[in-house]
Structure 1
Amino acid sequence: MSAYQGFRWLQLWHELIGRRSGGDLVLVVGERDGEPVFIWPFGVWRCGPARIARWLGGKYNNYNLGIWALEELSTANSKRVMKALREIAATAKIDSYELINQPEVWDGLRNPFMCLSHTPSPSNSYRLDLERDFEALYTRRRSSRSRRTLRRKRETMAQSGEIRFIHGTDKDSVLRIVEALVEQRDARAHAVGIPSIFSERGALELTRDVLLDGLTCTEGPLMQAHALEVDGIIRATYVGGIYGERYSCFLNSFRDDELTASSPGEQLLHDLIEFSCEGGLKQLDLGVGEERYKTSWCDPDPLFDSFIPITGTGKLYARLREMRQSVKRSIKNNPALWQAIKKARKLRSRAGL
């Protein structure tokens, strides 16, 4: 499983966001010889005349995998998976499944849903294999020129005041980081002409509550908060989930001010990767979407979407959603067109439209 399939994460998401959107819980446990071998945390939403099953967590999850026993993950096949989906659909009156942002491979094992009809997701995620020796990793992943540039920017940043890497380990530090995260994400969203994630009801409470829970929870996936502070001001933030030996970035942000040219977000990412290496983590991912700071450190981690119809009504819905995702993927894979769309968003935002 990934951090996004943790019980408390999905429980909070459902209480604060999912239930408000009218979703019904469909929590599936698959058993073999009386022992659970998978848990699929689904919800079902009505879309027009169709009832559509999706992973709980929706767009908040960078990865949707379900929860698998390792032996089942390595042996499941299309016949068994499809049989289970049909049985679930009959019980929960599901017309179609819409299962997005699924990793092709997890922990070196192929995702069983790859056995079924699927299409590439519009964007990849990005993953980095870590090691204890951060300096060796840094030297291998980043060129000498980029390392010199980052070091020079850090020296310039230090002229403005003390630089501190903050790991939110108490309520006050977590709430301070969340406040900076919201302010910086809202400002950035306005600048580029897109809605902020925190404009959705429940998003702030979800982020805050799961972080505060992580301060006292002793089992299961946790979300942690980190920040880069310069001269007493938080200039960049990262919030991510940790499960097993993997860190998964959920949200990040940077402050647009006089230190922006010194790349506070990139400085914090450097420190976070070093912190993760020293903590013994084996992998780190930076979530969905193509950005230069991701590709400078990480390798693409391909994702796929499954639109699996069960009924005639479901077939029409699945086909339309598949076409929409295909158009979105084509746009994002066309750099000139994607840049034009981002420029149009900025212009519209500046015009107040």
Structure 2
Amino acid sequence: MTMAAAMDKPIAAHPGAPRIARVDILRDFADAEPVWRQFETSAHLATPYQRFDFLSAWQAHAGNAEGAQPLIVAAYDASQEPVLLMPLVVSRENGMRVASFPGGKHVTFNMPLWRRDFAETATRADMDALLKGIQASNDRIDVLALLQQPQAWRGIANPMALLPHQPSANECPVLNMTPDTAPTDRVSSSMRKRLKTKEAKYKGLPGYRYLHAATPADATRVLDMFFAVKPLRMAEQGLPDVFAEPGIEGFLRQACAAPRAGGYAIDVHALVCDEEVIAMYAGVTDEQRFSMMFNTYTMSANAKYSPGLILMRSIVDYYADQGIRSLDLGIGEGDYKRMFCKDDEAIFDSYIPLTTRGRLGALGLSSVAHAKRMVKQSPALLQMAQKLRSAFQR
């Protein structure tokens, strides 16, 4: 759907009676936790980015630092059973109150948490009832800016796609893994051979091994390396260090230490030896997907044998053995991503006005996002934009 869709009236009448009978607005993560936890079961549908422990860590550190105000939407059916929970935060942009998913640029996928049977059969009337509930609150939200939403999750269509939307600026490269296939179906035999030759250079290092952090101490050692090295790597590329923004380090450290069944809210993987952490990746995991969030590798001479690629191969094999069905390395292009991820996952954005003032704001936000996508889709425009960015950062 094009950017003009952002101007559609979201509260239009649609056939069929909605099943959402009540919408509650919660303005504190602690108040929302009891109902939120109900959605973290196999009977519900959610991405690992919307776990309570993940987003509450973000809010406690980064969200509070940037002045984001929680607005957590809980919807109930006629039996007063919760059918969805949509965590949002409110900020002021150009004089408007804009509600968006929390987590900012550190989240790849955004989606409400759903009761699975409701998500499977949701209608546009249900979604309009949700919007009406938000619109009727005392919070006076002008625009819902709902970015980076997956078209489907675990094979179930995302009901939010029933609302006006447009393609996101970028798609997400993904590796789909079929259970019980040969390792060479995931990573080619030629690449495996090259990486095995490179890894032989590390085998003589005392204590060399692949590490999936199983204790807070493991995670702390790897994160200490990350926060020391990542600014240097970002500076090499002429990029701003988004991990130095207020609250981000506290958020990541808390989430990497927040336990869940089988791991942490953020799982940490690394190649290590006794002397140093050579390379690291961290991301979120559920029963079917590993989604990478951040990574880096050493500044020492041990960087010369492609430790990041060796670690990525180890992570692919580790999760394939665990029965994970897919793996992504985050939104956006990158040569190393295409070495592993051959498919693309479509994601979409919605800019939905809830007030008269919000109609113009939604169109403006939609237009800017549409222009970004055009730039990303055109090699010539992208090269020009990169040159301009480098010029301004000198």
TM-score if structure 2 supplies the norm length? 0.81
Tell whether the 8 Å contact from 1:158 to 1:230 is kept in structure 2 after alignment.
no
1:93 aligns with 2:140: yes
CA deviations on 1:280-335 (whole Å, 9 max, x unpaired) are 32332222111122222222111111001122211111111111112221222223
1:304 aligns with 2:348: yes
Query: Percent same amino acid among aligned pairs?
Result: 30
1:313-324 alignment to 2 at 5 Å? Answer: 313-324=357-368
Distance 1:333 1:234, change over 3 A: same
Structure with the higher helix share, 1 or 2: 1
1:242 aligns with 2:285: yes
CA deviations on 1:166-187 (whole Å, 9 max, x unpaired) are 1211232211100112223211
1:34 aligns with 2:77: no
- CA–CA distance in 2 between the matches of 1:326 and 1:271? 37
- CA–CA distance in 1 between the matches of 2:91 and 2:229? 32
1:127-276 alignment to 2 at 5 Å? Answer: 127-131=174-178, 133=180, 136=182, 138-158=183-203, 163-214=208-259, 217-218=260-261, 222-230=265-273, 232-276=275-319
Q: What is the match of residue 382 of structure 2?
A: 338
Tell whether the 8 Å contact from 1:222 to 1:243 is kept in structure 2 after alignment.
no
- CA–CA distance in 2 between the matches of 1:232 and 1:326? 48
CA deviations on 1:6-26 (whole Å, 9 max, x unpaired) are 111111111111123222221
Once the two structures are TM-superposed, the CA of residue 149 in structure 1 deviates from its matched residue by 2.2
Once the two structures are TM-superposed, the CA of residue 274 in structure 1 deviates from its matched residue by 1.2
Q: Which residue identity lines up with residue 76 of structure 2 in the other structure?
A: E
Once the two structures are TM-superposed, the CA of residue 83 in structure 1 deviates from its matched residue by 2.6
Q: What is the match of residue 338 of structure 2?
A: 295
- CA–CA distance in 1 between the matches of 2:192 and 2:203? 16
Q: Which residue identity lines up with residue 10 of structure 1 in the other structure?
A: L
Once the two structures are TM-superposed, the CA of residue 131 in structure 1 deviates from its matched residue by 4.6
Greater Cα shift, 247-256 or 104-113: 247-256
Tell whether the 8 Å contact from 2:257 to 2:265 is kept in structure 1 after alignment.
no
Q: What is the match of residue 126 of structure 2?
A: 80
Segments of structure 2 that go 5 or more residues without pairing to the other structure are 1-45
Q: Which residue identity lines up with residue 11 of structure 1 in the other structure?
A: S
Q: Which residue identity lines up with residue 71 of structure 1 in the other structure?
A: D
Distance 1:268 1:348, change over 3 A: farther
Distance 1:276 1:222, change over 3 A: same
Tell whether the 8 Å contact from 1:220 to 1:243 is kept in structure 2 after alignment.
no
Please, what is the CA RMSD of the aligned residues? 2.3
- CA–CA distance in 2 between the matches of 1:295 and 1:287? 11
Once the two structures are TM-superposed, the CA of residue 157 in structure 1 deviates from its matched residue by 4.1
Q: Which residue identity lines up with residue 107 of structure 1 in the other structure?
A: R
Segments of structure 1 that go 5 or more residues without pairing to the other structure are none
- CA–CA distance in 1 between the matches of 2:97 and 2:75? 22
What is the aligned residue count? 346
Q: What is the match of residue 5 of structure 1?
A: 50
Q: Which residue identity lines up with residue 302 of structure 1 in the other structure?
A: A
- CA–CA distance in 2 between the matches of 1:129 and 1:69? 25
CA deviations on 1:30-85 (whole Å, 9 max, x unpaired) are 11121111101111212232111111222221110110011111111223212311
TM-score if structure 1 supplies the norm length? 0.90
Tell whether the 8 Å contact from 1:81 to 1:113 is kept in structure 2 after alignment.
yes
